[in-house]
């Protein structure tokens, strides 16, 4: 039996207590029989970790992961996993965010997994968002907006984005190579000059460019938001 402890393999970071509190609270909402979308990132990690614990204690669920990393984590923890071809809806998806505003609009994709994350969230009866308090903002746009782009179109798409006034940087992996998503695409991170007034319009403009697979905007998708604090408290909105 692989009796692993995830936390032993990670370096504790500043917000880990807050992230863990949110992740654990979300995992405690999962009920027997649910089909659950598993998010990606350091906060979703704590959710999956606690869900594994609950499954070991007898919780009966099925999961489907939004990234190869989360799939491997869940597989290792023996959460029974589904594949996309076998499902047409999910009860709930639990996932983190890079930023979330007062209207529950989000920027996601810091880990480059936002396309699959959005697919699972939109198949779900509810997307539960788990964040530490630093992710909560009045207005979006301080963090870059990840845009997934088909490699064939990278040059044309960048020119098109720039012509519309969106400027950014291609995400690189180690060794200076282009970062590749789980879907085999590139990520262009758009940096905004000022906070966003109308993310819906920005989203439509960017999505209208051929070569763009999807943006990291999640607009009108979030259900409950569980905010974790460093002292272990959580607040649900």
Give residues in contact with ligand A5P (CB under 6 A).
39-44, 95-98, 108-114, 117
Nearer to ligand A5P, 105 or 114 (CB): 114
Pseudo-torsion of CA 32, 108, 210, 208, nearest 10°? 100
Nearer to ligand A5P, 30 or 187 (CB): 187
Give the DSSP H/E element, type plus range, for residue 63: strand 62-65
Give the DSSP H/E element, type plus range, for residue 124: strand 124-132
Nearer to ligand A5P, 14 or 237 (CB): 14
Report the nearest approach of ligand A5P to the CB of residue 36 (Å): 15
Active-site position among 49, 99, 117, 158: 117
| 163 burial type by CB count under 10 A (0-12 exposed, 13-18 middle, 19+ buried) | exposed
Is the distance from CB of 146 to CB of 109 less than 8 angstroms? yes
Compute the distance between CA of residue 171 and CA of residue 37 in angstroms, rounded to an integer.
26
The answer to whether residue 117 is catalytic is yes
Report the nearest approach of ligand A5P to the CB of residue 165 (Å): 24
Report the nearest approach of ligand A5P to the CB of residue 216 (Å): 7
Helix runs in 61-195, H state only: 68-76, 114-122, 154-163
Report the nearest approach of ligand A5P to the CB of residue 98 (Å): 5
Nearer to ligand A5P, 28 or 42 (CB): 42
- Residue with CB nearest ligand A5P? 41
Residue numbers annotated as active site: 117
């Amino acid at each position: 039996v692989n009796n692993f402890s995830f936390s032993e393999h990670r370096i504790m970071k500043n917000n880990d207590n807050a992230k863990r509190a949110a992740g654990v609270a979300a995992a405690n909402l999962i009920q027997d029989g649910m089909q659950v979308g598993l998010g990606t990132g350091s906060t979703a990690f704590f959710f999956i970790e606690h869900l594994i614990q609950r499954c070991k204690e007898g919780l009966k669920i099925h999961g489907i992961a939004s990234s190869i990393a989360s799939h491997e984590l869940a597989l290792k923890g023996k959460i029974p996993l589904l594949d996309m071809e076998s499902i047409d809806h999910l009860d709930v998806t639990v996932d983190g965010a890079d930023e979330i505003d007062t209207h529950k609009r989000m920027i996601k994709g810091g880990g480059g997994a936002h396309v699959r994350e959005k697919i699972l969230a939109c198949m779900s009866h509810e997307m539960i968002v788990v964040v530490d308090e630093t992710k909560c903002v009045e207005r979006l746009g301080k963090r870059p907006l990840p845009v997934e782009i088909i490699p064939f179109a990278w040059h044309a798409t960048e020119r098109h984005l720039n012509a519309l006034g969106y400027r950014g940087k291609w995400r690189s992996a180690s060794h200076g190579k282009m970062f590749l998503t789980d879907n085999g695409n590139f990520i262009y991170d758009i940096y905004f000059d000022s906070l966003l007034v109308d993310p819906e319009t920005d989203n439509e403009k960017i999505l209208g460019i051929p070569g763009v697979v999807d943006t990291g905007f999640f607009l009108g998708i979030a259900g409950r938001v569980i905010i974790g604090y460093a002292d272990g408290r959580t607040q649900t909105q």
